[in-house]
């Protein structure tokens, strides 16, 4: 069997075993551990085949897996490659055509490509998201973005100049890089930058912290938004919390690597009645709620989640978001800031939730809204700043 037949066979084996219950990159790690004979090139190829398969979303999921993998490679890659040359030389020759010319060339189960088939949730999208463009953006892996830590942009640019990496500087703090760039090889110091998506960086424009204020990042995960806040105003007294103890451990290591101090961390489930008993204060100048959500705005990075998604799941997220938001907004002082963020493209998690928050009569909507990343190779997010009445 040739290398290219082996790759196809391994990808099919993975797709047959994978049930969407763990992130795909974790599953692949485990698979390759059990198959130690596969070298790094083999692993890269097989991973790419599996990701390209999932980038087709829900379009003809019942089609023959091998055919669907080849269709994925054809539509998602834009350079001729030996895999497609072996399995489908005719398509390989046309792989560099613009996407609109490639789309009519593939059929699965006898059916042509349609954006609605790839993403059958267009009716649920937030206002301003163009359904067809959004669906087609799934076919392309987003870029890698880093945020320069305060005062470090010049050093980053100097080291990028010494490498042969193609990059784009965006504004004063952002650098766009090709996905898969080995950052540790380019930059001698990890604390010069944070890996953070462009749209996620843009949510920071809503924070506007003042000196020595008390802030709470209540769904902090490993602290991406918290470090953004601290870089804007290091004197902020910060409380970080999350329901997962393991992620708070990750946050602590990340903060120490990034030399972020003056904070306290807690494990708190914001859905339970007495969640506030351990809070160091009952009034904060600002609360960031980067809510648990469908993550649909980041599916370009995790296309497996689109493949396994059902519209019924949106309600599970909105119930959780509503419960958490209604609980925590009581802890913003009058005149203080409440920042609601999702990485979702669904109206129910975005505009509808904002409407519910305003309807409490406790918050005034100030600014923010959709952060459209999908046309730039970035995530799509939603972020709104409110003032407590
Ligand atoms: C979108 S992530 C936060 C990302 C983070 N702010 C960042 O910038 O990296 C949402 C977080 O909410 C947490 N979460 C989910 N349910 C929760 C609950 N009931 N109470 C507190 N946190 C919860 C999840 O564990 C997850 O880490």
145 φ/ψ angles, rounded to the nearest 5 degrees: -125, 140
Verify that 202 and 191 share a domain, yes or no.
no
Query: Is residue 35 included in any domain, yes or no?
Result: yes
Residue nearest to atom 10 of ligand 1 (CA): 292
* Residue 380 and residue 261 share a domain: yes
Please work out whether the CB of residue 244 comes within 6 Å of at least one atom of ligand 1: yes
Is the distance from the beta carbon of residue 329 to the nearest atom of ligand 1 less than 6 Å? no
Residue 354: per-residue pLDDT: 98
In a domain, 97, yes or no: yes
Same domain, 296 and 362: yes
User: What percent of the chain clears pLDDT 70, i.e. is strictly above it?
Assistant: 100
User: Which of 91, 113, 135 is the last residue before a domain boundary?
Assistant: 113
On whether residue 119 sits in a domain, the answer given is no
Residue 339 CA, distance from chain mean position: 18
Of 168, 195, 222, which residue is a domain's last?
195
Distance 184 CA to ligand 1 centre (A): 27
Distance CA 59, CA 68 (A): 9
Considering the domain architecture, whether residues 37 and 158 belong to the same structural domain is answered as no
Residue recorded with tokens 């129910």: 348
Residues spanned by the domain of 168: 144-195
CA 85 to mean position of chain CA atoms = 32
In this structure, are 294 and 235 located in the same domain?
yes
Tell whether 128 is covered by a domain.
no
Which of 194, 204, 219 for a ligand 1 pocket mutation test, highest count of atoms within 8 Å of Cβ? Answer: 219
Nearest by Cα to 67 from 88, 46, 95: 88
Q: How far apart are CA 366 and CA 352, in angstroms?
A: 16
Does the complex come out with an ipTM higher than 0.85?
yes
Residue nearest atom 23 in ligand 1 by C-alpha distance = 243
Neighbours of 131 (CB within 10 A): 16
CB 295 within 8 A of CB 350: no
3-class SS of residue 335: strand
Cβ atoms 347, 125 nearer than 8 A: yes
CB distance 316 to ligand 1 below 6 Å = no
Residues 233 and 372 in one domain: yes
Nearest in space to 244 (alpha carbons), one of 273, 218, 269, 272: 269
For residue 342, being part of any structural domain is answered with: yes
CATH number at residue 353: 3.40.50.150
Residue 340 neighbours by CB under 8 Å, 6+ apart? 289, 291, 325, 353, 354, 357, 383, 384, 386
Answer whether residue 340 is part of any domain.
yes
Q: How far is the CA of 323 from the centre of ligand 1 (A)?
A: 13
Using a 10 angstrom Cβ sphere, with 0-12 exposed, 13-18 middle and 19 or more buried, the burial of residue 130 is middle
Supply the DSSP string of 195-218, one letter for each residue. E--HHHHHGGGGT---TT-EEEET
Report pLDDT for 252: 98
Q: What is the largest CA-CA distance in the chain?
A: 70
DSSP 8-state code for residue 311: T
**How many Å lie between the centroid of ligand 1 and the Cα of residue 362?**
23
Minimum-distance ligand 1 atom for the alpha carbon of 221:
27
Total domain count, the chain: 3
Does residue 139 lie in a domain region?
A: no
Q: Are 284 and 332 in contact, with CB atoms under 8 Å apart?
A: yes
Identify whether residues 59 and 165 lie together within a single domain.
no
Tell whether 150 and 90 lie within a shared domain. Answer: no
Structure tokens at 368: 């923010």
User: Can you give the pLDDT at residue 378?
Assistant: 98
Same-domain check for residues 187 and 288: no
Mean pLDDT by 10 residues, the chain (389 residues): 96 98 98 96 97 98 98 98 98 98 97 97 97 97 98 98 96 96 97 98 98 98 98 98 98 97 97 94 98 98 98 97 98 98 98 98 98 97 98
DSSP 8-state secondary structure symbol assigned to residue 20: S
48 and 154 assigned to the same domain? no
* SS3 category, 110: coil
Residue 136 inside a domain? The answer is no
Pocket of ligand 1 contains residue 220 by CB under 6 Å: yes
Q: Is the CB of 260 under 6 A from ligand 1?
A: no
Kindly state if the Cβ of 269 falls inside 6 Å of ligand 1: yes
**Same domain assignment for residues 189 and 204:** no
Do residue 247 and residue 299 come from a single domain?
yes
- Which of 292, 294, 319, 353 to mutate to test ligand 1, by most ligand atoms within 8 A of the CB atom? 292
């Amino acid at each position: 069997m040739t290398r290219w037949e082996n790759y196809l066979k391994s990808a099919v084996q993975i797709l047959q075993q994978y049930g969407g219950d763990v992130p795909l990159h974790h599953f692949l790690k485990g698979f390759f551990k059990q198959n130690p004979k596969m070298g790094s090139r083999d692993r890269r190829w097989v991973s790419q085949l599996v990701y390209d398969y999932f980038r087709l979303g829900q379009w003809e999921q019942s089609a023959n897996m091998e055919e669907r993998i080849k269709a994925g490679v054809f539509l998602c890659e834009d350079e001729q490659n030996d895999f497609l040359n072996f399995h489908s030389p005719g398509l390989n020759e046309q792989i560099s055509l613009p996407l609109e010319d490639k789309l009519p060339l593939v059929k699965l189960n006898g059916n042509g490509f349609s954006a609605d088939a790839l993403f059958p949730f267009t009716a649920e999208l937030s206002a301003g998201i163009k359904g067809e463009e959004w669906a087609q953006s799934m076919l392309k892996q987003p870029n890698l973005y880093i945020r320069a830590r305060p005062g470090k942009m010049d050093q980053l640019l100097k080291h990028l100049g010494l490498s042969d990496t193609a990059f784009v500087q965006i504004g004063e703090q952002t650098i766009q890089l090709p996905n898969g760039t080995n950052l540790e090889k380019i930059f001698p110091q990890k604390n010069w930058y944070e890996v953070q998506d462009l749209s996620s960086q843009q949510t920071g424009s809503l924070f506007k912290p003042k000196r020595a204020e008390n802030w709470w990042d209540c769904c902090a995960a490993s602290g991406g938004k918290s470090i953004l806040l601290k870089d804007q105003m290091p004197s902020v007294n910060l409380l970080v919390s999350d329901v997962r103890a393991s992620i708070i451990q990750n946050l602590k290591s990340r903060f120490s690597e990034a030399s972020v101090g003056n904070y306290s961390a807690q494990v708190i489930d914001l859905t339970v009645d007495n969640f506030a008993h351990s809070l160091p204060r009952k009034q904060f100048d600002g609360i960031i709620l980067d809510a648990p959500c469908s993550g649909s705005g980041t599916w370009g990075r995790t296309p497996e989640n689109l493949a396994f998604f059902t519209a019924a799941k949106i309600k599970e997220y909105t119930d959780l978001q509503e419960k958490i938001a209604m609980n925590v907004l009581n802890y913003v002082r009058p005149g203080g800031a409440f920042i609601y963020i999702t990485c979702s493209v669904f109206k129910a998690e975005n505009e509808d939730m904002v409407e519910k928050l305003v309807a409490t009569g406790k918050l005034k909507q100030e600014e923010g809204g959709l952060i459209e990343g999908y046309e730039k190779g970035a995530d799509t997010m939603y972020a709104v700043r409110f003032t407590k009445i």
